[in-house]
Amino acid sequence: MLYLLHGMVAILLLLPPASTSARAPFGAADLRSTFINEFFRDDGLTRQVACQTGAFNDPGSNAEAVWQFFSDKLPAHQIAGIIGNMTAESGVYPQQRFGNPIGEITPASALTISNLTKTGSGAINLSNPDDPNSGTAWGIVQFHPPGKFVNNKDYVDVISDANVLHNQLIYLWDQLQGAGSAASEKAAGDDLKSTGSVADATESFAAKYERFTTGNVRADPSWDKRLKAANGAMARFSDKIPTVASPVSGTTVETAVGSCTEAAETGSVVAVAQEQALKGGSNFIAEVEDGNYADFVSWTFKQAGTPFTGGAPEDWQISSAVDIQEFFKNTAGYQYILASQEQPQPGDVAFFIAPANGIEHAAIVVSVGDGVMAIISVKNGSVTQTNDVSTEPGVGGLDGYGRRPAPAGGGSGTGGGAPPPNIPGGCIVDGYINPKLGECVGVPTGTVLSAYNSNTNTSADVIIGGGQTIDGKIIYGCIDVVGANVTIKNSRIICSKGRDLAYHAGKCAEWSGCGLYYDGAINSRSSGLVLENNDILCGEGVNASLHPAKAPCDYLVNGGNYTARRNNMYNMVDGFFPTSSVTIEYNYIHGQVEVLEEWIPLKYTRNGTNRYSHADGVQTEFATSNVIIRGNFFQGNSDNGGASGLQAILTKDATNLTIDSNRLDGYFKSLRIAALGGSGSITNNVIDSIYKSHGWVIQARGSYNVSGNKFDDAGGSPVTDANIKRN
């Protein structure tokens, strides 16, 4: 069996039975959406035309032939379930041999495994066709062993390329009927005929006929691919080729939405692009003469009601992919994400740099699988969908993705409806992470950590080169990541190279540039760093004690071009010190410490007396761009006598800054969220209600959308203008 690995979430929708009469062609009237990427026709037939028909290899002529063959035998949803399984098993290729690349032809006459022998007539015989371990899986449904089909005297014409598909379908139908000399699969056929939805039919055929797992089919990694392909078959063929009526009344339509992250809205970017792909781009071509791929992206966003300019209809068009890329990088609320940082979402704009000439290309992402995506763009003068495009950074010139702001209403409180990546159930509360150590954040409970190297000096430099994945390690020392595409996960990092007071007394005799000499637990000096499910802290020795002559690390993670999620972060002054292109999401940030810094000259302190550090969960000291701070849990501590302040988030002159769905719990001494200059959005954050009468909880100096923020009291009282400082 051939698998795509992906997780799923299911939604049940009750719909009336679909009519079996001929239906009008798919058109704009179908783009009426009330759920994520589900488009309903007036007659009640569900149409999945976006991420429900995800990236998979399906030679349309073969799939159509399968549909045509079964159209007078089964209702549409049951045929779709069969095709969904065929797609996962063989790519709908009747001469597909297990283990070979999809589409590589292996006719029966070419099977050469040791227990298959040719006779003089060219037929193939298995030495023991009843032995389930003999032979190899082969054919459109991966017959195993293949001899039960290729040796059957009633189906002798299997060697002919012209007839192999038809003969396999006849054999399969006889199996499902329990007829003829086919190896009976009547129980599987009866179960399939009892199903009333695409999902149930897909599950039935997978469990009862394919029998590739003894467990829950829907929990299998291939389930996503099977159901998407089944929904895709429904979208392409149910109107085109009428089928027999379903004997099941009151049917349900169940669709998988775990990998669908495009916002639920009429005329979404995905829907508009998909419709044009079905039409070859007729509407786009009629409006934009000689339009290129950048024109198509601009036009699609305009049609979806979110033109790039955000204003006048005549100003919607950006005709250069490079200029569109710059728009995403430099426009408040929009994001530009490197391909090395994050997987795409449906509705993103993918940017490719052509290796031959260095020209930037743009396309709309319409579905995402495991390491692949489907994109729609202009090709040879027509709007075309291309499946199985790699999401690996650099493959095919892939550069990054542009992502638009969440539509009004948001829906999930997660900054645009994107599902949190790989987070267990119950770990997201109102859009932010539940700080349950070992379960929702930090090193998972039960993980046995082994030494990364022989070093046990927590102040040593640990240099990490590119391309490494470090999993389940304990790392003593302070990390410099100097190479690209490094992943550190399920590990514990302890660093004590922080503010050595004697050292800084010399370096900071004058205040200018003093902050440049601070150090931290992890420094990201390249691109593509991913930090996931780690404990990151400052302290000395294996017990991470705090040295009396040193403060904790000034920050735990510094630099740019990284993603940090689900980390447990404590014993520090600042948690994160990001520069640009950084995603900080679903972390537990606590244990910030204000330290008496006796080395600071008094003339640089408040009132000539205050020499405490200023502790922040996230702080940007210099101008930054494209920083996302999303879904984190910031835990304030009690007042320890310091007067300089303790904040959750402090930024300066940031552009394209997103602060969304974070939880601020406990005591913070001064402003809770302070964006001092720049542009972006501060939305959907949940703030401890002890501050309702304490003045400002948000400072937004610059061009910021501040909305949807609330307190954590029983009623979820909104953060009003009285709690927001705009200067």
The pLDDT value recorded for residue 412 is 30
The pLDDT value recorded for residue 209 is 94
pLDDT for residue 643 is more than 90: no
Instruction: Retrieve residue 476's tokens.
Output: 């003593």
pLDDT for residue 272 is more than 70: yes
CA pair distance 390, 370, nearest whole angstrom: 9
pLDDT for residue 89 is more than 70: yes
Average pLDDT of the residues in 167-183: 89
The pLDDT value recorded for residue 119 is 36
> What band does 215 get if pLDDT is binned at 50, 70 and 90?
confident
Which stretch of DSSP H or E encloses residue 589?
Answer: strand 588-589
| 3-state SS assignment for residue 679 | strand
Burial 274-307 (b: 16+ CB within 10 A, else e): bbbbbbebebbbeebeebbbbbbbbbbbbbbebb
Please write the tens of the pLDDT for every residue from 388-412: 788 888 888 898 999 876 543 333 3
The pLDDT value recorded for residue 137 is 81
> What band does 258 get if pLDDT is binned at 50, 70 and 90?
very low
Among 323-337, 556-570, 609-623, which stretch is predicted with the lowest mean pLDDT? 609-623
Residue ranges of E strands in 661-714: 663-665, 673-683, 686-687, 698-707, 710-711
Average pLDDT of the residues in 576-589: 92
The pLDDT value recorded for residue 74 is 94
pLDDT for residue 506 is more than 70: no
Q: Is 240 exposed, middle or buried (0-12, 13-18, 19+ CB in 10 A)?
A: middle
The pLDDT value recorded for residue 695 is 75
Whether omega for the bond prior to residue 435 falls within 30 degrees of 0, making it cis, is: no
- For 689, phi and psi rounded to 5 degrees? -70, -5
Measured between its terminal Cα atoms, the distance across the chain in Å is: 61
The pLDDT value recorded for residue 233 is 80
CA pair distance 179, 463, nearest whole angstrom: 67
C-beta separation of 546 from 531 below 8 A: no
The pLDDT value recorded for residue 342 is 79
CA pair distance 700, 727, nearest whole angstrom: 7
> What band does 18 get if pLDDT is binned at 50, 70 and 90?
very low
The pLDDT value recorded for residue 522 is 93
Which stretch of DSSP H or E encloses residue 275?
Answer: helix 269-279
pLDDT for residue 133 is more than 50: no
Q: Which residue has the higher pLDDT, 59 or 477?
A: 477
Report the 10 Å Cβ neighbour count for 465: 11
Residue ranges of E strands in 147-288: 252-256
The pLDDT value recorded for residue 620 is 82
Q: Residue with structure tokens 């449904």? A: 141
Instruction: Retrieve residue 74's tokens.
Output: 């089964």
The pLDDT value recorded for residue 102 is 72
pLDDT for residue 514 is more than 60: no
CATH number of 269-403: 3.90.1720.10
Q: Which range has highest mean pLDDT (45-59, 70-84, 228-242, 606-620)?
A: 70-84
High-pLDDT (> 90) share of the chain, %: 24
C-beta separation of 442 from 369 below 8 A: no
Q: Residue with structure tokens 């029966």? A: 108
Q: Which residue has the higher pLDDT, 193 or 162?
A: 193
Alpha helices in 454-590, H assignment, sequence order = 501-507
pLDDT for residue 35 is more than 50: no
Count how many Cα atoms sit within 13 Å of the Cα of residue 288 in the half-sphere of its side chain: 24
The pLDDT value recorded for residue 122 is 38
> What band does 682 get if pLDDT is binned at 50, 70 and 90?
very high
Among 13-22, 79-88, 113-122, which stretch is predicted with the lowest mean pLDDT? 13-22
| 3-state SS assignment for residue 676 | strand
The pLDDT value recorded for residue 25 is 33
Residues 713-721: contacts with CB under 8 Å, at least 24 apart: 713/689, 717/689, 717/692, 719/685, 719/687
| DSSP per residue, 212-237 | --SS-GGGSTTHHHHHHHHHHHHHHH
pLDDT for residue 474 is more than 90: yes
SS3 content of the chain, % helix, strand, coil (to 5): 20, 30, 50
pLDDT for residue 33 is more than 50: no
Three-state SS string across 105-148, please?
ECCHHHCCCCCEEECCCCCEEECCCCCCCCCCCECCCCECCCHH
Q: Which residue has the higher pLDDT, 175 or 47?
A: 175
Q: Which residue has the higher pLDDT, 159 or 323?
A: 323
Average pLDDT of the residues in 492-514: 59
- For 650, phi and psi rounded to 5 degrees? -135, 120
Please write the tens of the pLDDT for every residue from 356-386: 777 889 999 887 766 778 889 998 888 888 8
